[in-house]
Amino acid sequence: MASITLDNIVKTYPDGFTAVKGIDLDIADGEFVILVGPSGCGKSTLLRMIVGLEDISSGELRIGDEVVNDKAPRDRDLAMVFQNYALYPHLTVYENIAFPLRLAKGKFSEEEIDAKVRRASTLLELDEHLDRKPANLSGGQRQRVAMGRAIVREAQAFLFDEPLSNLDAKLRGQMRTEIARLQRALATTTVYVTHDQTEAMTLGDRVAVLRRGELQQVASPRGLYDQPVNLFVAGFIGSPPMNFLPGEVRGDVLHLPLVDVPLDDRLRRAVGDRELVIVGVRPDAFLDAETMGPGPGDGRAGRGEGVRFEADIDVTEWMGEVLYAYVPFETHDAVRGKLEELDRDLDGEGMRTQMIVALESMSRIREGDRAELWFDPSSMHVFDPESGDNLTRDEERAAELEDDAREQRKRALERARKRAAQDETPARAET
Ligand SMILES: Nc1ncnc2c1ncn2[C@@H]1O[C@H](COP(=O)(O)OP(=O)(O)OP(=O)(O)O)[C@@H](O)[C@H]1O
Ligand SMILES: [Mg+2]
């Protein structure tokens, strides 16, 4: 196992297109890092450069302390699992898993091969399928065979390129948990490409967000959600997505399309001398005022001073645990262009001129209602309308979140190592 270091990595394809524009990324030994971003942002290109399937145009790639730019893929000792896990149809599951070991001709004895295959198959719950052919397996089982092949190699790192995107939603959920558990048990350095929100937020120790070949932010999932550096990251992370509203500054007040918010110290500092900003509010920052009792900021459930406002509800969607309500609003011409550009970058389906609010399940708000909503302005993010920079980002808080994440990860790895020391097949004993 090893660390992977990307130092100003650039990829320009032979047709002149620069798909990766100078990326720096330090992946620690044993760390699980997710590469995420919209289609075409360069995720696969970056992964293929790490594995060695694609030349690096400039910059330096190191595995451990060694520069590997010019090393052939097989000498880099990395195991890659693709979306289209090509299994050999004429070989049994056992032989498919054993394949990379047999490829290293004479390096392993029959007993060694058998021990490695059996350990992987136990870890992946494939024991009873070892004699079967891939064609007769489910999608999830095939994916596990592909992972088995990566595991037996005991490579320096695992690289995954959207390994679950061919599976249906339920199976994807199961395999996601499986991969997380496995990675923790093996503590193998892992780089995982996805454009799936949930995978990005749940699997990784850290998530690297890419946009058009450029790294936007690398942080823990909580760090990205809470303290995004810019509009792009804020809009990309979170589902349903963050609402973006034009905010006009007049005197002591920030005018939003549906509500006026008094400028407190935090907001005033963020706004500076701007007259117009883009305001971001997450759907879950809102409450149905009806369900929280009378009076503004009544401190219910420890909620601070809030702001109430009335809104016309267009559509509602009751999801069981939450009620989504859609509230149309008029946007401002001066920010329309920026928000349309953002929407295109995010692979959106057209400019969002409606706000989505996530309300308590028992809320009685229904479509067509004029409803009273509540939100806490301290949950607002404020962005520069030109650069898209997050003006309310709290560097101190962001650093705390990263410290927490590192600490948690360390504990998880220690637990896994302890268990591995006690038990040869640690992963099963865990759940
Ligand atoms: N061989 C090639 N020659 C020229 N351009 C390429 C080549 N391969 C990829 N590209 C371009 O490089 C950019 C990044 O492609 P890449 O496959 O890395 O994106 P991605 O982030 O993996 O997207 P997706 O989520 O759709 O898989 C795209 O604009 C793509 O068109
Ligand atoms: Mg790709």
Pair of tokens at residue 48? 């293929």
Residue 299 has pLDDT above 60, yes or no: no
| 59 band by pLDDT with thresholds 50, 70 and 90 | very high
Q: How confident is the model at residue 36 (pLDDT cuts 50, 70, 90)?
A: very high
Name residues with Cβ closer than 5 Å to ligand 2, which is an ion: 44
The arithmetic mean of pLDDT across residues 244-255, rounded, is: 94
Index of the ligand 1 atom closest to the CA of residue 195: 25
pLDDT for 425 equals 52
Residue 406 alpha carbon to ligand 1 centre in Å: 32
What is the spatial order of strands in the sheet that 322-328 belongs to?
315-318, 322-328, 354-360
Alpha helices in 135-186 (DSSP H): 139-152, 169-186
pLDDT tier for residue 407 given thresholds of 50, 70 and 90: very high
pTM (whole model) above 0.75: yes
| Euclidean distance between CA atoms 189 and 30, whole angstroms | 4
CA of residue 83 relative to chain centroid, distance: 17
pLDDT class of 245 with cuts at 50, 70, 90: very high
299 vs 384, more confident = 384
Phi and psi (nearest 5°) for 109?
A: -75, 165
Residue with tokens 């997710």: 34
CA-nearest residue for atom 20, ligand 1, is: 40
Lowest mean pLDDT among 10-14, 49-53, 290-294, 347-351: 347-351
**Coil, strand or helix: which one is 219?**
strand
Check residue 298 and give its pLDDT: 47
**Nearest-CA neighbor of 342 among 237, 218, 236?**
236
pLDDT higher at 301 or 221: 221
Q: To test the ligand 1 pocket, which listed residue (41, 49, 166, 197) has its Cβ within 8 A of the most ligand atoms?
A: 41
Neighbours of 160 (CB within 10 A): 26
Looking at residue 344, its pLDDT comes to 84
Q: Check: CB of residue 103 under 8 Å from CB of residue 135.
A: no
Bridge partners for 158 per DSSP: 79, 190
Helix (H) / strand (E) element for 201: namely helix 197-203
Report the 10 Å Cβ neighbour count for 69: 14
Residue 301 has a pLDDT of 47
Paired strand residues for 383: 278, 390
Pocket test for ligand 1, best of 44, 165, 214, 345 (most atoms within 8 A of CB): 44
For the chain, how far is it from start to end, CA to CA, in angstroms? 25
Query: From the CA of 161, which ligand is nearest?
Result: 2
User: Can you give the pLDDT at residue 367?
Assistant: 93
**Amino acid 430: pLDDT:** 44
Task: Kindly list the protein residues whose Cβ atom lies closer than 6 A to any atom of ligand 1.
Answer: 13, 15, 17, 19, 37, 39-45, 195
On the question of pLDDT at 265 being above 50, the answer is yes
The token pair that represents 266 in the structure block? 């935090």
What pLDDT does 5 receive?
98
Q: What is the mean pLDDT of the chain?
A: 89
* 97 CA from centroid of ligand 2 (Å): 25
Which ligand 1 atom is the nearest neighbour of the CA of 210?
Answer: 21
Q: What is the pLDDT of residue 194?
A: 92
- pLDDT confidence of residue 422: 78
Contact 50, 159 (CB under 8 A): yes
Residue 227 has pLDDT above 80, yes or no: yes
Residue with the bigger pLDDT between 172 and 266: it is 266
Q: Does residue 311 register a pLDDT over 70?
A: yes
Ligand 1 centroid from CA 40, angstroms: 5
CATH classification of 4-225, choosing from 3.40.50.2300, 3.40.50.150, 3.10.580.10, 3.40.50.300? Answer: 3.40.50.300
Per-residue confidence (pLDDT) for residue 207, from 0 to 100 = 97
**Cα distance between residue 314 and residue 320, in whole Å:** 19
DSSP string across 74-110 = HHHTEEEE-SS----TTS-HHHHHHHHHHHSTTTS-H
Q: What is the mean pLDDT of residues 79-101?
A: 89
CA distance 7 to 52: 15
- The Cα-based distances of 243 to 235, 393, 403 in angstroms read 8, 17, 28
- Stated as kind and residue range, the H or E segment containing 35 is strand 32-36
pLDDT at 426 over 80: no
The whole-number average pLDDT for the span 90-104 is 93
In the 3-class helix/strand/coil scheme, how is 306-367 assigned residue by residue? CEEEEEECCEEEECCCEEEEEEECCCCHHHHHHHHHHHHHCCCCCCCCEEEEEEECCCCCCC
pLDDT of residue 431: 41
Strand 189-194 with 18-27, pairing: unpaired
For the chain, what are the domain ranges? 4-225, 231-393
Q: d(Cα 191, Cα 33) in Å, to the nearest integer?
A: 5
| Residues in a beta bridge with 269 | none
pLDDT the model gives residue 292:
76
Cα separation, 238 vs 324, whole angstroms: 14
Work out the percent of the chain whose per-residue pLDDT is above 70.
Answer: 94
